[in-house]
Amino acid sequence: MRHGMILAVSFHDDLHALAVQHAVRSRGHAFHIVECDTISGRQSLSWRSHREEADGRAGAATVLTSEGVPVSPEEAALLWWRRARADQDITGAAGSAHERSLVNNDCRGALGGILAAAFHGDWISPPAATDLAADKLYQLAVAHASGFPVPRTLISQSREEVIAFTRQVGRTIVKPVVGARGPSLYTRWIDDPELIPAPSFEICPATYQEYIEGSRHIRLNCFGDRMYAALIETTALDWRPDLNVPISPWPVPDDIRQRVGTVLHQLGLRMGIVDLKLTPEGEPVWLEVNPQGQFLFLEPLTGEPLTEHFADFLLSAA
């Protein structure tokens, strides 16, 4: 079977994009990375709306790859919308905050607009679906409507509401609604909100959730219809800071496969990295899905060749 060219949009030196590029190219297929954060400072983008009599091109577009090769999005069969929102690396040409904002917004807008206008293949996943599914409130509602148990959740800036919520649900955790670039903000306990002054709550909304008992966490990597899960066993509230715990492959039961597939379909996602937690009784509780989550770290921990699995997924779609 002959596969079309694959484009990936991500930031400079993204290990996931580079690993998948190597896997796809090693099989003899074309794979190019477009770096969303190195557009400024070089001739990276070009698009025209009308036919030019001189060269006969209609609506021609080119984007510069990470290797400095101009390619046409129109020739691509598949576009992996990996990580496309990073700011430009313009440290050496830093101007005012307004000027930096202009450069970042116009580079981001031009890249997204060119691809939307010139690319006619399949997205992994479409930008609109990716952005909407990244909203943790929305995906929680979709998962609940699709039959998953979800933690009781409060989004609030009210000290009184948080106090009442913790009294209702018992042990409560707090985490960002969206988060920010930079150091990870891990999930934390909120033991006694009555000891916290009201202005601390009012600065911005936060996510408050009931704590789900148990020590078995499921990291479920969904590549199309194929799902590969890892069981992470830890009593830590957030498993991410310490991976020196038992981690092993976990066979995905058919009912969970079907329910997760329903959620991703409702969200419009072709892929997703899902976090579940098993209660002491073994009931899976939905925590969240990252439309473009990390999976490379699990390869050496589980022995599952996730990069090759992901390359299979892309080539099957291209």
Instruction: State residue 55's pLDDT score.
Output: 56
Place of tokens 């969303």: 36
Q: What is the largest CA-CA distance in the chain?
A: 73
Confidence of residue 299 (pLDDT cuts 50, 70, 90): very high
> Between residues 186 and 6, which one has the greater pLDDT?
6
Give the span between the Cα atoms of 21 and 315, in whole angstroms.
Answer: 11
Mean pLDDT of the chain: 93
What is the model's pTM?
A: 0.92
Give the span between the Cα atoms of 259 and 278, in whole angstroms.
Answer: 15
Place of tokens 């400072």: 41
Instruction: State residue 58's pLDDT score.
Output: 47
Q: What is the pLDDT of residues 211-234, one digit of tens each?
A: 999 999 999 999 999 999 999 999
Radius of gyration in angstroms for the set of CA atoms belonging to the chain, rounded to a whole number: 22
Instruction: State residue 171's pLDDT score.
Output: 94
Q: What is the pLDDT of residues 16-41, one digit of tens each?
A: 999 999 999 999 999 999 999 999 99
Cβ burial of 293 (10 Å; 0-12, 13-18, 19+) is: middle
Instruction: State residue 173's pLDDT score.
Output: 94
